[in-house]
Amino acid sequence: MNQHVLVLNCGSSSIKFAIIDAETGAAPLQGIAENLGAHNAQLRYSFDGKKTAIELSDNTNHKEALASIGRVLKQHDALQSSIIAVGHRVVHGGERFEQSCLIDPLVKEGIRDLAKMAPLHNLAHVAGIESAQDAFPDLPQVAVFDTAYFQTLPKHAYLYALPYALYEQHGIRKYGFHGSSHHFVSHEAARLLNKGIGQCNLITAHLGNGCSITAIKQGKAIDTSMGFTPLEGLVMGTRCGDIDPSVATFLIESLDYSAAQVSALMNKQSGLQGISQLSNDCRTLEEQQALGNENAKLALDMFVHRLVKYIGSYIALVGPLDALVFTGGIGENSSYIRQQTIAQLAHMGFSLDETLNAETRFGRSGRISDATSKSVFAIATNEEWVIAKDTIHCAFKA
Ligand code: AMP
């Protein structure tokens, strides 16, 4: 059996896990422990396509959930003994973590320190790391940072035009997120183009519940839409993306919002959800707008408008474009969003092949543009595989 990596993505109330074949990227076993700390905690997983759900006791914490995941692994002896390392997705690596690294007490402390920039995520990661060290004491544990892919951004791209001291003293700058996904699909695009990644100018759009878009010049990220936090940039499921910062001060000074209320408004009640007043789910909005719902149509139109603006500006940055890539739940599956976006870019030399656009969904990857167009790909992302490969590299080859 090939060697496998246990990839963990620990959130504040959930742990996503996958056993990844480091050679092929396949995931024979994957699942999620969710509602941790609540009364309806549950562990769901699928093994070779067969789904199982286990109720966990009330208020199950990360440590108990990882012990339960460990017990599931024990039932699959051969698979368990093929696991050689644990890879943790860590959202914020700040400027300190330029690349993935083996976790030692200093690294753990560094991740905890960065919690001031991503409190929900990084503290949950530390809890997950400590629990995984207890549950799998014999396996090397590696941290793979969402932000590391964007270390190549030049300073003039990652700085905000604020007083420089805020950057120097408090690290206020653009960091970028979804790095493993942009990394994966850019390399897949280079493969489809039959070119070395270093020869490729690409724009990769990760469109899911969170959305980000990255400009890649000669294989290196030079700009990206998410910023100091994952709030900046595109319209997302429940996040507003780009906005005049004065809206925040107006809400506080004139409408008596607290800082926490502004944050909740912009992160959890805005985006597709906020505009449509219906749903953050692109599928629901597509169905509703087809039935004539104006709010659903407006939300989708705003989503596409912002996306088109970013694509245009990133074409200006990367120079002659080799390919535009769609990924993430919406990018991989929504023929509608892809069609609406590309229709607005016709004057820049883009056009879709209708059949390819309709058929390249649900895990299929490939070209969706027609023969006259600049290349457009839809690529099923595999962030876990990037994490697994980095984990093996750090644990055994670095
Ligand atoms: P993610 O966060 O990457 O899992 O993506 C979630 C988003 O993908 C949600 O807005 C879903 O509605 C959207 N999505 C998933 N499947 C489809 C589909 N077949 N058509 C349109 N949107 C989809």
Render pLDDT for 144-163 as a digit per residue (tens, 0 to 9): 999 999 999 999 999 999 99
228-252 confidence digits (pLDDT tens): 999 999 999 999 999 999 999 999 9
Mean pLDDT of 256-267: 96
* Token pair for 236: 């997302």
Atom of ligand 1 nearest to the CA of 328: 3
State the chain's mean pLDDT as an integer.
96
Band of pLDDT at residue 318, cut at 50, 70 and 90? very high
For ligand 1, mutation pick of 16, 209, 300 (most atoms within 8 Å of CB): 209
Residues 204, 150: Cα–Cα separation, whole Å: 13
Total count of residues recorded for the chain: 398
Domains, the chain: 4-152 (3.30.420.40), 195-383 (3.30.420.40)
179 vs 163: CA distance, rounded Å: 27
Residue 383, annotated ligand binder? yes
Query: What's the whole-number mean pLDDT along residues 166-186?
Result: 97
| Substitution site in 204, 211, 213, 283 for ligand 1 pocket (most atoms within 8 Å of beta carbon) | 283
What is the pTM (predicted TM-score) of this model?
Answer: 0.96
Closest by CA position to 199, among listed 213, 218, 216, 182: 218
pLDDT at residue 398 in the model = 72
Catalytic member of 77, 113, 138, 146: 146
Residue 223 is labelled as binding a ligand: no
Exposure b/e, 157-188, CB count within 10 A at least 16 = b = bbeeeeeeeebeeeebbbbbbbbbbbbbbbbb
Catalytic annotation present for 138: no
Please give the distance, rounded to the nearest whole angstrom, from the Cα atom of residue 111 to the centre of ligand 1.
Answer: 30
| pLDDT band with cut points at 50, 70 and 90 for residue 199 | very high
Q: State residue 303's pLDDT score.
A: 99
Ligand 1 atom index nearest CA of 362: 19
- Among 236, 275, 333, 362, name the best residue to mutate to test ligand 1's pocket (greatest count of ligand atoms within 8 A of Cβ): 333
Could you tell me which residue, 365 or 115, shows the higher pLDDT? 365
Query: How far does the centroid of ligand 1 lie from the alpha carbon of residue 107, in Å?
Result: 34
Mean local confidence (pLDDT), 89-115? 96
Q: Are strands 15-21 and 4-10 parallel, antiparallel or unpaired?
A: antiparallel
Ligand 1 pocket: which residues have CB below 6 Å?
A: 208-209, 237, 281-283, 286, 328-330, 333-334
pLDDT tier, 49 (very low <50, low <70, confident <90, very high otherwise): confident
d(Cα 294, Cα 276) in Å, to the nearest integer? Answer: 8
For ligand 1, atom 9, the nearest C-alpha belongs to 281
Which ligand 1 atom minimizes the distance to the CA of 284?
A: 12
Percent of the chain with pLDDT over 70: 100
Q: Is the pLDDT reported for residue 1 higher than 90?
A: no
| Mean pLDDT on 212-232 | 97
pLDDT over 90 for what percent of the chain?
A: 95
Q: How confident is the model at residue 265 (pLDDT cuts 50, 70, 90)?
A: very high
pLDDT band (50, 70, 90) for residue 397 = confident
Q: Compute the CA torsion angle 269, 274, 279, 282 (nearest 10 deg).
A: -110
Does residue 188 have a pLDDT over 80?
yes
pLDDT higher than 90, residue 333: yes
* Cα 291 from Cα 386, distance rounded (Å): 40
CA of 154 to the centre of ligand 1 (A): 32
Confirm whether residue 283 is marked as ligand binding: yes
Q: Is 361 annotated as a binding residue?
A: no
Which atom of ligand 1 lies nearest, measured to the CA of 209? Answer: 2
Question: Known binder of ligand: residue 207?
Answer: yes
Q: How far is the CA of 134 from the centre of ligand 1 (A)?
A: 35
Q: Annotation-wise, does 209 bind a ligand? A: yes
Which H helix or E strand runs over 31?
strand 29-34
Stated as kind and residue range, the H or E segment containing 216 is: strand 211-217
